[in-house]
Chains A and B, each alone.
Chain A
Amino acid sequence: MSTLARRTLLGTAIFAVPLTAIAFVANAMASPADMRVVVNFMISLVLVLAIQSFSGNTGIISFGHLAFMGVGAYVAAIVTIDPVLKQDDLAGLPSFMAEHSVGFIPAVLLGGLVGGLVAGVLGVVLTRMREGAMAMATIGVLVIFFVVFDNWEGITRGNTGIAGIPQSTTVFAALVFALLAIAACRAFCESRFGLQLRGSRSDPVAAEALGSNVVRLRWVAWTLSGAIMGVGGALWAQYNIAVGPQQFFFEQTFPLLAMLVVGGLATVSGGVVGVFVITIVFEVVRRMEDDIGIPGLTQIVVAVLILVVLNRRPNGIMGGLEVDQVLARLRGRRRVEQEGGSQ
């Protein structure tokens, strides 16, 4: 088996065990409120890993990815709601879209497809820029899409948003897509694209001198991550049954980036660990916030957590390593200790 396939399978399998266990336990005994937390956790994995597949490999942070999540979510909303509802609410739709609806899987795939297409077009311009300028230009992307979602009445229902989306994302569907996202992002990271990008992340001049077309590689990563983001948005819409422009703007960008950075931007495992840690912190503090009555406490706690983690561990909890590398090191250290003890 090739290195790529072996690492992808191992890296996915290590997370598959606990995630599957969580899904089964939640399915058996979780209250509706806890179930929401679990399903949104799985969907967040898809979203955070989508951002990781671009930012982690290129070293360029993106504030604009929620635009592609929004695209996926609106696409899924428009193609799944009952045609009767569309006639009243979404008058701007072309007739073939107004008269038909599709099921869960086609909606998810369409979300990913359109997310990828939109990202691909924007990426032509964005990936030509220097690293810092591109990061800031992604902010512009987020604002452009917010304005469009907020005002395109006939298609998005503007500020009101679209409600009445069938709730089709089950905990197991979310689990499957989370695992697919882990596998896809790990495979990309280990592929010739990911390898070259990680080289360019550390030294773009050296990477170009070796023959890497850094602009094109970044475009590939950007488009792929836009597609995965679209998938995540489609899953999200079909679980939370209503979409509106505010859900794809800055306030929602912050927790996703927090997850990525706290866990460790550079690796897929960092993304997974970050989603887990921040989800728990969010839930614990949110429950306290209701008791204590300080508005915004959750955001304050997460912000402080980010500042502390970045100060102590600039590469996040995982410190730039994949979980299988950590395990291999631990095994190596134990072997050394045992050998040392037997002498």
Chain B
Amino acid sequence: MMVFAAAGQEAVQQAINALALGSTYALLALGLAMVFSVLGLVNFAHGELVAVSGYAMYLLHDAGLPFAVQVPAAIATGAIAALVMQRVVFRPLRGASFITLLISSFALSVLVQNGLRAIISPRQQGVPLPDFFNESVHLGPYVIGWLEIVTLASCVIALIVLTLFLRRSTQGLGMLAAAEDFQATRLMGISPNRVIAAAFAISGALAGLAAIFLVARRGTVDPGMGFMPLLSAFIAVVIGGLGSLSGAVVGGFVLAAIEVTLDATLPGSVQPFREAFALGIVVVILYFRPEGLLTRVSEAK
């Protein structure tokens, strides 16, 4: 009975970890999917939006400004950086092939990473966060970190706000229509430039939000910090179905669930291979659902 209770307790804690991790992935994956759905671009430089937002927190911290200022600054930095990328790099490439866009964003990612390296420092920089994040709450038998709670709550709020915006506002409905069929936006009298800019701004803001929780978990920033989270977001997007917004969110949580489950169940000797196992499971999922979980198998016209 004791063992059973302990196992149940363990499972609940793992589930909360999975949700917190999954919500961070979901924010990034959703941003990727938004840009993909309006521009057909898989943005490799999305990870650098995370890095740039993280560095904004670092610089403000360095200037002695409190966490309460760093948070909105990180989100705004992500959004602005995304808009700049859009205007400078991707707008001139409008209509280019999938590969051209992909490789351009890959080059942009390398450019920003090395730019941060050259301008600030190749080394990790510490960004200490309020002690609050290291504390836990006791809810009955469960011990849950504030970081997990805040992460999960913020992500859920962000997703709700975004859903309301997309479903209720004219601009949002235009974006949803564009995600379905980009040509339709012209017919609806919505400016494609505004839709694309809005998609980038939202994806950047979501990346900025994700950056806050990533920095909170690590306590540091470095030029390559966006890379591993971006990889997870890529995988999440593929699991959910490339181009599906809700698929991206679902994919984020599925990937996190796989990782946390493997973390808890794999024997110690194979623990280092966890990532490989997780991706192996993803490959198996894709073998049975090559179009992803939430994409209906479409028929050629």
B103 CB-CB contact with A under 8 Å: yes
- Interface stretch of the complex, out of A21-29, A143-151, A225-233, A326-334: A143-151
Question: Of residues B110, B237, B287, which shows the largest number of chain A Cβ atoms within 10 Å of its Cβ?
Answer: B110
List A residues 79-122 near B (Cβ within 8 Å). 122
| B214-227 interface code vs A (CB 8 A; 1 in, 0 out) | 00000000000001
B291 CB-CB contact with A under 8 Å: yes
CB pair B96–A303 under 8 Å, yes or no, is: no
B64 CB-CB contact with A under 8 Å: no
Smallest CB separation, B51 vs chain A (Å) = 14
Give the chain B neighbours of A205 by CB distance below 8 A: 300
CA distance A132 to B291 in the complex (A): 10
B114 CB-CB contact with A under 8 Å: yes
A5 CB-CB contact with B under 8 Å: no
Q: Which residue of the partner chain B has the closest CB to A205?
A: B300
Smallest CB separation, A296 vs chain B (Å) = 3
A129 CB-CB contact with B under 8 Å: yes
B84 CB-CB contact with A under 8 Å: no
CB pair A130–B98 under 8 Å, yes or no, is: no
List A residues 283-311 near B (Cβ within 8 Å). 294-297, 299-300, 302-304, 306-307, 310-311
CA distance A299 to B282 in the complex (A): 32
A243 CB-CB contact with B under 8 Å: no
Give the chain B neighbours of A297 by CB distance below 8 A: 114, 118
B99 CB-CB contact with A under 8 Å: yes
Give the chain A neighbours of B279 by CB distance below 8 A: 140, 143-144
Question: Of residues B96, B100, B107, which shows the largest number of chain A Cβ atoms within 10 Å of its Cβ?
Answer: B107
Give the chain A neighbours of B115 by CB distance below 8 A: 296, 300
Give the chain B neighbours of A130 by CB distance below 8 A: 242, 290-291
CB pair A303–B234 under 8 Å, yes or no, is: no
**Residue in contact with A136 in the complex, picked from B96, B242, B300, CB distance below 8 Å:** B242
Give the chain B neighbours of A122 by CB distance below 8 A: 283
B272 CB-CB contact with A under 8 Å: yes
**Residue in contact with A147 in the complex, picked from B122, B227, B273, CB distance below 8 Å:** B273
B102 CB-CB contact with A under 8 Å: yes
CA distance A144 to B272 in the complex (A): 11
CB pair A300–B114 under 8 Å, yes or no, is: yes
Smallest CB separation, A209 vs chain B (Å) = 9
CB pair B103–A310 under 8 Å, yes or no, is: yes
Give the chain A neighbours of B292 by CB distance below 8 A: 133
Instruction: List the count of A-B residue pairs having beta carbons below 8 Å apart.
Output: 130
CB pair B118–A295 under 8 Å, yes or no, is: yes
| A54-65 interface code vs B (CB 8 A; 1 in, 0 out) | 010001010000
Give the chain B neighbours of A61 by CB distance below 8 A: 99, 102-103
**Residue in contact with A307 in the complex, picked from B99, B108, B235, B275, CB distance below 8 Å:** B108
**Residue in contact with A250 in the complex, picked from B100, B227, B290, CB distance below 8 Å:** B227
Q: Assuming the A-B contacts A306-B104, A310-B104, are A133 and B99 also in contact, with contact meaning beta carbons closer than 8 angstroms in the complex? A: no
CB pair B291–A257 under 8 Å, yes or no, is: no
Main secondary structure of the interface of A (DSSP, over half): helix
Q: Assuming the A-B contacts A131-B98, A133-B291, A140-B283, are A147 and B111 also in contact, with contact meaning beta carbons closer than 8 angstroms in the complex? A: no
Give the chain B neighbours of A71 by CB distance below 8 A: none
Smallest CB separation, B176 vs chain A (Å) = 20
Q: Assuming the A-B contacts A144-B275, A310-B100, are A304 and B118 also in contact, with contact meaning beta carbons closer than 8 angstroms in the complex? A: no
A137 CB-CB contact with B under 8 Å: yes
CB pair A135–B231 under 8 Å, yes or no, is: no
CA distance A303 to B48 in the complex (A): 14
Q: Which residue of the partner chain B has the closest CB to A300?
A: B114
List B residues 185-201 near A (Cβ within 8 Å). none
Q: Which residue of the partner chain A has the closest CB to B95?
A: A314
A16 CB-CB contact with B under 8 Å: no
CA distance A150 to B273 in the complex (A): 9
A125 CB-CB contact with B under 8 Å: yes
Give the chain B neighbours of A137 by CB distance below 8 A: 238, 283, 286
CA distance A48 to B111 in the complex (A): 22
Give the chain A neighbours of B93 by CB distance below 8 A: 310-311, 314
CB pair B282–A140 under 8 Å, yes or no, is: yes
Q: Which residue of the partner chain A has the closest CB to B88?
A: A307
Q: Assuming the A-B contacts A132-B42, A133-B290, are A143 and B275 also in contact, with contact meaning beta carbons closer than 8 angstroms in the complex? A: yes
Smallest CB separation, A138 vs chain B (Å) = 10
Smallest CB separation, B196 vs chain A (Å) = 17
Q: List 12 contacting pairs A-B, 8 Å CB cutoff, sorted by A.
A: A55-B99, A59-B97, A129-B286, A132-B98, A136-B42, A139-B235, A140-B238, A140-B283, A143-B275, A297-B118, A307-B104, A307-B111
Going nearest first, the 4 A-B pairs with the smallest beta carbon separation are A296-B114, A303-B111, A151-B272, A306-B107
A-binding residues in B (CB < 8 A)? 42, 89, 92-93, 96-100, 102-104, 106-108, 110-111, 113-115, 117-118, 122, 227, 231, 234-235, 237-238, 242, 272-276, 279-280, 282-284, 286-287, 290-292, 300
